[in-house]
Structure 1
């Protein structure tokens, strides 16, 4: 049986923390960039999130939002992860070395993968079927990288 109160509290706290981070760390003059990052990441997570759920790789046994219309975690796929991508793109170390950029991407991916691993182990919010944390790390890193490429293309001065 699901511990509904605990799962709802985790989702609510995650959403509140992300909103506070966005309000705190997204400057007013960067709102356009934030919107583009958020919406582009939503496109990717919508596609890939549905793909892994429909293929039976990941299951979300308890969902807070849209329980009957969507098998993915709406909170993570459509709000939390795209919102984190805003911070990823706005604070990306563009003028640093390739190694610094790689560490930056892997740091973001690693932290989310670590949190997801604990969430999978101790809650009913996510369940790996034919999936593991390495796939999460790789997919997060790839989507961050693609998001960055799109961001650079969209805001190029040419």
Structure 2
């Protein structure tokens, strides 16, 4: 087993195992969070591949897509699920920004690790600094928009059913 396959297997196992640690009362919120984040990462990465900005030499479904399935469809959305579950909504602005920064940084540095040490992801344009900057901007946008949707979706309505 190559290091790439080991990493893909490990992040799949970690993502699936983390499902058992989601509190029962947060399952619905976790599912919506997972799906909304997939709605950003999956098409965003497909566009980057189609425009020739990035390639995935080692991937799971070589005939179906040119995008790494596990990282974009399972791992990054699962990180976002934990971001939402652990979000300190009643904390000060500094703590909330730090929460964003830590989770976005985890995703970005995972991308940097896989770019430098493996063949899971290969940027075709720019330097490591420009790729890191682009990743931070992109993931901050994904997290901010997705979290805004989750907050809106989770609001309780004052209307009763039936009017």
> TM-score scaled by structure 1?
0.91
Shift of 1:139: 0.8
Is 2:73 the partner of 1:78? Answer: yes
Higher gyration radius (CA): 2
Is 2:116 the partner of 1:117? Answer: no
Shift of 1:123: 0.4
Give secondary structure in 2 for the equivalent of 1:119: helix
Between the two proteins, the alignment pairs up a number of residues equal to: 153
Q: Which runs of 5+ in 1 are unaligned?
A: none
Q: Which runs of 5+ in 2 are unaligned?
A: 158-163
Deviation string for 1:75-105 (max 9, x for gaps)? 0111111111111111111111112111111
In 1, distance between residues paired with 2:19 and 2:57?
Answer: 28
Is 2:28 the partner of 1:14? Answer: no
Which position in structure 1 is the counterpart of 2:100? 105
* Structure 1 runs of 4+ with >4 Å offset: none
In 1, distance between residues paired with 2:133 and 2:152?
Answer: 29
Q: Please give the root-mean-square deviation of Cα atoms over the aligned residues, in Å.
A: 1.2
CA contact (8 A) 1:52 1:58 kept: yes
> TM-score scaled by structure 2?
0.89
Q: Identify which range, 110-119 or 71-80, moves more after superposition.
A: 110-119
CA contact (8 A) 1:22 1:87 kept: no
